[in-house]
């Protein structure tokens, strides 16, 4: 669990406005503790993934929700298969 400041410090190429935008769009969904936002390891990795999609793979703002939605569906399936006891590679 880390705070917004720590998260911004962790990724040098992360700008606060971008993160706020992603939170507003629901791409990143931190929890609220009092006045503060807290980010779990899952959120941190997701921010890392979004940064890589944007900076390394040139996924633009219009394409980002599409990619994230497909990925979320993919991981829904994989979680579900795991729950059903199907062994997945890697």
Partner 1 sequence: MAQDPYKTLGVARNASPEAIKAAYRKLARQHHPDLNPGKPEAEARFKAVSAANDLLGDPDKRARFDRGEIDAEGQEQRHSGSYRQQAEQPQGGRYSARPGQRPEAEVFDDLFADIFEQRRRAESAPRRGQDETYRLVVPFLHAVAGATEALTLPDGRSLSVKIPPGVESGQTLRLRGQGGPGRNGGPAGDALIDLDVGQHPLFRREGFNLYLELPVTLREAVLGGPVLVPTPGGPLRVTLPEGSDAGRQIRLRGKGIAAHGAREAGDLFLNLRIEIGPADAALKAFLSQWKPEHPHDPRAGMEAAP
Residues 1-60 that bind partner 1 (CB under 8 A): 26, 29, 40-42, 45-46, 48-49, 52, 56-58
49 burial via Cβ count (<10 Å: 0-12, 13-18, 19+): middle
- How big is the CA angle at 6 (ends 26 and 74), to the nearest 5 degrees? 35
Provide the minimum distance between the beta carbon of 74 and partner 1 in the complex, in angstroms, as a whole number.
Answer: 7
Q: Does 72 bind partner 1 (CB under 8 A)?
A: yes
Q: Does 80 bind partner 1 (CB under 8 A)?
A: yes
- Residues in contact with 80: Cβ distance below 8 Å, sequence separation at least 6, in sequence order: none
What does the binding site for partner 1 look like in residue numbers (CB under 8 A)? 26, 29, 40-42, 45-46, 48-49, 52, 56-58, 68-69, 71-80, 82, 88-90
């Amino acid at each position: 669990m880390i705070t917004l400041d720590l998260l911004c410090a962790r990724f040098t190429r992360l700008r606060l406005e971008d993160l706020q935008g992603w939170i507003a769009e629901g791409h990143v969904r931190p929890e609220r503790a009092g006045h503060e936002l807290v980010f779990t390891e899952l959120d941190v990795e997701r921010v890392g993934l979004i940064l890589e999609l944007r900076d390394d793979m040139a996924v633009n703002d219009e394409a980002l929700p599409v990619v994230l939605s497909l990925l979320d569906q993919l991981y829904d399936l994989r979680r579900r298969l795991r729950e059903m006891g199907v062994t997945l590679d890697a």
